[in-house]
Amino acid sequence: MKNILVPASVLAGTIIGAGVFSLPFVFKEVGLTTGFFYLALFSVIYFIVYLLYADLIVRTPGDHRFVGFSRIYLGKMGFFFSLFIGLLELFFTLTVYLILAPSFSGLFVGNNLIYHLFVFWAVGSVIILLNVRKMAASEFLMVFAIVAIMALIFIFGINGFIKSDIDFNRLDLSKFLAVGPILFALSGTLAIPELINYFRNAQVPVSLVKKSAALGALIPFVVYGLFVMGVLGLSGTVSGDAVSGLIGAVPGFLLGLVGLLGILSLLSSYIVVGLNARHVLEYDIKLPKIISILAVLLLPLTLYFSGFQNFVGTISFVGAVFLPLEIIFIVFMWLRAEKKSEMPPILVGKYIRFFIPPILVVFFMVLIYGIITLH
């Protein structure tokens, strides 16, 4: 059981993040039935993608990550394109944290948005500049803080949700507004190489990856659903970042605790993503150290002040453009491995293969939607 739970918790911990705070607003906009349907659908699709990616890792000799697999299976052009979209995704993710940070810090130290933004940016930037890896490795703190926030909000809000007259509405698949934020909230492909390393180091059969991936994908689905119900039960006014709309609807001590836990979680995430971007620039692109540092420190601010200041809008853009590209790349790399690898598939059976064409169609549709409507 331990060999299933431990890697599943790593995957769930990677998935659960800032994206969840967009979901209550999005679910209220598209209707709860549509929101929960898309959340369930993409949780299942991501599970299949995780298996494809894990199978690719197991069948490829050496220790590689997304960009490395692109070089092996998609050639030089695939490598540079994956590097480009991966970096853009990292910088936009940093921008998302800048947008969200003042919402949390404003819960316990006033509401001067720009001041809070610059303080958050300065603290995160100093740690990235100093390359403090131990502090950046506080994954447990990040996950604990966000789960604690969601648990508190659910406990305080579930009674109101049950007693409310919230209309679940009918299922409307044309409301694609929900897709980008849900994809952002569910993304966890970064954890798959760590899952495989865990099984290899523990000398455990990799066939157990299926159970770990299923549980790791299920936990965020359940936690997110409970959080959405909690927020909707607490306040009739649901803000885009979920937390601003709680002011006046929950006790002051809870607001302060939510704000403190949230800002600690975001700071940890900002450092992890920032260091990742810095290392890609320095080691993969071979840029000079000073240019890499300046890019990581200044590009998120540049994106913010160039107009990316709406939390739900920016998450929708990242989730509907960069994440579909990432998943399409993974699927095509797996298909390419089918032709190049001498080892047969280990984690992907005939039933999963059946879903590959529909998955590609879905994510090409999401990508086209994202490019047309969210530019």
The token duo for 263 is 């800002």
Digit-coded pLDDT (tens) for 315-359: 999 999 999 999 999 999 999 988 877 777 777 877 888 899 999
pLDDT of 135 > 60? The answer is: no
pTM: 0.89
**What is the rounded CA–CA span in Å between residue 150 and residue 180?**
21
Mean pLDDT of 254-261: 82
Q: What is the pLDDT of residue 220?
A: 92
Please report how the helices 356-373 and 32-59 are oriented relative to each other, as an axis angle in degrees rounded to 10: 120
Mean pLDDT of 249-275: 81
Distances (CA, A) of 70 to 1, 119, 135, 273: 34, 37, 30, 20
| Tokens 């002011």 belong to residue | 247
Q: What is the pLDDT of residue 120?
A: 93
The token duo for 126 is 């100093």
Mean pLDDT of 50-68: 85
- CB-count burial class (<10 Å; 0-12, 13-18, 19+) for 3: middle
Return the number of other C-beta atoms located less than 10 Å from residue 39's C-beta.
21
Between 366 and 113, name the one with better pLDDT: 366
Mean pLDDT of 244-254: 76
pLDDT of 38 > 90? The answer is: yes
Do 232 and 36 form a contact (C-beta atoms < 8 A)? no
**What is the rounded CA–CA span in Å between residue 368 and residue 371?**
5
Dihedral in degrees, nearest 10, Cα atoms 192, 194, 199, 202 = -170
Arithmetic mean of pLDDT over the chain: 85
Between 170 and 249, name the one with better pLDDT: 170
**What is the rounded CA–CA span in Å between residue 3 and residue 7?**
7
Name, in order, each residue with C-beta under 8 angstroms of 265's C-beta and a sequence gap of 6 or more. Answer: 18, 141, 142, 145, 146, 149
Q: What is the pLDDT of residue 198?
A: 80
Q: What is the pLDDT of residue 210?
A: 87
Between 77 and 194, name the one with better pLDDT: 77
Digit-coded pLDDT (tens) for 69-118: 888 888 888 888 988 888 999 999 999 999 999 988 888 776 677 888 99
**What is the rounded CA–CA span in Å between residue 320 and residue 144?**
27
pLDDT of 56 > 80? The answer is: yes
| Tokens 């705070």 belong to residue | 21
The amino acid that residue 335 corresponds to is: L
Mean pLDDT of 250-267: 81
Q: What is the pLDDT of residue 294?
A: 94
| Tokens 């603290």 belong to residue | 123
Q: What is the pLDDT of residue 375?
A: 55
Structural domains of the chain, ranges and CATH numbers in brackets: 2-373 (1.20.1740.10)
Digit-coded pLDDT (tens) for 278-318: 888 887 788 899 999 999 999 999 999 999 999 999 999 99
pLDDT tier, 146 (very low <50, low <70, confident <90, very high otherwise):
confident
- CB-count burial class (<10 Å; 0-12, 13-18, 19+) for 32: middle
**What is the rounded CA–CA span in Å between residue 238 and residue 257?**
19
The amino acid that residue 270 corresponds to is: Y
Percent of the chain with pLDDT over 90: 33
